[in-house]
Structure 1
Amino acid sequence: MTSSLAPPGYGRGVLIVVEHFWTWYRRNWRATAVSSVLQPLLFLLAFGVGFGSLVDRGGGAAAATGGVSYLVYLAPALLAVSAVQSAAFESTYPVLSGFKWQRIYHAMTAGPITPGQVALGHLAWVAAKMAGSGAIYIVVIALVGGVTGPGIVVSLLAAVLTGAAVASLVTAFAATVETEGGAFNVIFRFVVIPMTLFSGTFFPVDRLPAVVRPLAWVSPLWHGTELARMAALGRWTLFPALGHLAYLSALLAVGVVLATRLFTRRLAR
């Protein structure tokens, strides 16, 4: 028997994939609450409130932070960090599971949904989840005094763009993984953790040795952190901001193209 129902349009197909993830998440959100919400909040309390009080008391960090408290300086950076960490996690083992273990991607493409729609639906869901977690984070940092103005909302958009750029590239890589996911440990240990520590999150990049700084400059997290801080502190500089935006957008475009092609190649077997 053949179905008389017409296949959904491309955008509608992507939304159907997003709906699948939302249906699962609203029943199982507690399983990811620690990694997506509580972990960045613990970072904020430990470094921004706890360690930050020591930094502010010392008085020597005022020049590095631009004259604001360390909590205010750190808050938009942690917003970007939480987005990148969430993006990396959501685009590794869950993607491999969709191909190999649960095989939900195969089930989706058994109908009228295309592999490209599956890839874009996954990325759209990751972006939506980052935006929701980031909004909760903003409420908390506002309560503890880490918000100085409405620019923090633009910081959230910068963080989501940064996370989406990372998610697209990691998703493309995950689509090539055939083993049990041991390769993902390399990403977390040698990419995500160094990015977190040395991308201007906790201190300005110009405090790093000169030979190391270029590695920070190619990091998407550094570009996202700079954008988020510009917005949160109201210190926009046109050309640097456009450069950060162009870099992140280019990474996102490359990642989307690679992810859709690699999903298509793998699901067409």
Structure 2
Amino acid sequence: MAVTGEFPRSTGRAPGAWRGVLLVVEHFWTWYRRNWRATVVSSVLQPLLFLLAFGVGFGTLVERNGSAAAATGGAEYLVWLAPALLAVSAVQSGAFESTYPVLSGFKWQRIYHAMTAGPISPAQVAIGHLGWVACKTAGCGAVYIAVIAAVGGVASPGIVVSLLAAVLTGAAVAALVTAFAATVDNEGPAFNALFRFVVIPMTLFSGTFFPVDRLPEWVQPAAWISPLWHGTELARAAALDRWVPLAALGHLAYLLVLLAAGVALSTRFFARRLAQ
């Protein structure tokens, strides 16, 4: 039910910075544990279907090609693909959770107005939202890892580090998308353009299904600025135990900078919109 009207300001004592964030995360968890069935298809089943279709089905055809082994560094295509799909799932989930749900919090249900009517600040609401997205991504990713392990898609314990890389990638994308969503009033054109021209191309051209060096040279720079490419490189290096320290530090630094920028913009735009 939409919340309407003005929300009076509470005179209660404000919680500590992290206590307020945890209260926001608790709100989302309370809703999710009662309604998780509504999102299980997009957050868990969809990446598993990708894995079965491309890793098991299409992967059989790929491995028949002698050049495929060179492209994957000698790894089975399923094992090579699994950590990339883990990162893709985190990015897609983070992007979706930061579009319509964020707009709903401002425009339809107005839960953000209700939260800040109490002693919780707009910055705590924004960070709490991102914290919940990270928690949900980690939980869904753990389920995904259990399934890919059962079908032979895990080559080493490094897949756990792949999960951390995927969560960081999803959080970086979610932070930027959350900042964008906080400026949106009409969801139709804005979010449609975001998914059609950013999220889907990023999924296809970030080294998920084939190495980036197989793309035309003029397209490769576009892949290098994609957060998903950096996350995929980290996740794949961990899963296949192919660390290149300087490269890994570069990927990690890039994602952390995007996350910091997204958090800063999100807190600023939340405060500006909730003050209106």
1:4 shift after superposition: 7.6
Gap runs ≥5 in structure 1: none
Equivalent residues, number:
269
Q: Distance in 1 between matches of 2:150 and 2:33?
A: 26
Report what 1:165 is aligned to: 172
Report what 1:249 is aligned to: 256
1:179 shift after superposition: 1.4
1:57 shift after superposition: 2.3
Whichever residue aligns with residue 126 of structure 2, its letter is: A
Whichever residue aligns with residue 209 of structure 1, its letter is: P
1:117-152 residue CA offsets vs partner (Å, 9 max, x unmatched): 000000000000000000000000000000011000
Report what 2:149 is aligned to: 142
* Deviates further, 51-60 or 245-254: 51-60
2:29 aligned with 1:53, yes or no?
A: no
Cα distance, 1:178–1:68 mapped onto 2, change above 3 Å:
same
Report what 2:272 is aligned to: 265
Q: Distance in 2 between matches of 1:54 and 1:215?
A: 28
Report what 2:15 is aligned to: 8
Whichever residue aligns with residue 262 of structure 1, its letter is: F
Whichever residue aligns with residue 152 of structure 2, its letter is: G
Gap runs ≥5 in structure 2: 1-8
2:101 aligned with 1:94, yes or no?
A: yes
Cα distance, 1:58–1:20 mapped onto 2, change above 3 Å:
same
2:243 aligned with 1:231, yes or no?
A: no
Q: Distance in 2 between matches of 1:13 and 1:181?
A: 32
Question: 196, 201, 204: which is aligned to 1:189?
Answer: 196
Whichever residue aligns with residue 15 of structure 1, its letter is: L
Q: Distance in 2 between matches of 1:141 and 1:154?
A: 15
1:206 shift after superposition: 0.3
SS of 1:123's partner is helix
Whether contact under 8 Å (1:96, 1:174) holds in the other structure is yes
Report what 1:18 is aligned to: 25
RMSD, aligned CA: 1.3
Q: Distance in 1 between matches of 2:148 and 2:97?
A: 24
1:199-218 matches, within 5 Å, as: 199-218=206-225
| % same residue | 80
Question: 33, 42, 45: which is aligned to 1:35?
Answer: 42
Q: Which runs of 4+ in 1 moved over 6 A?
A: none
Q: Distance in 2 between matches of 1:256 and 1:12?
A: 18
Q: Distance in 1 between matches of 2:11 and 2:60?
A: 66
1:58 shift after superposition: 2.6
Q: Distance in 2 between matches of 1:206 and 1:243?
A: 18
Report what 2:129 is aligned to: 122
1:180 shift after superposition: 3.4
The TM-score normalised by the length of structure 2 is: 0.95
Cα distance, 1:106–1:71 mapped onto 2, change above 3 Å:
same
Whether contact under 8 Å (1:152, 1:231) holds in the other structure is yes
Q: Distance in 2 between matches of 1:4 and 1:266?
A: 21
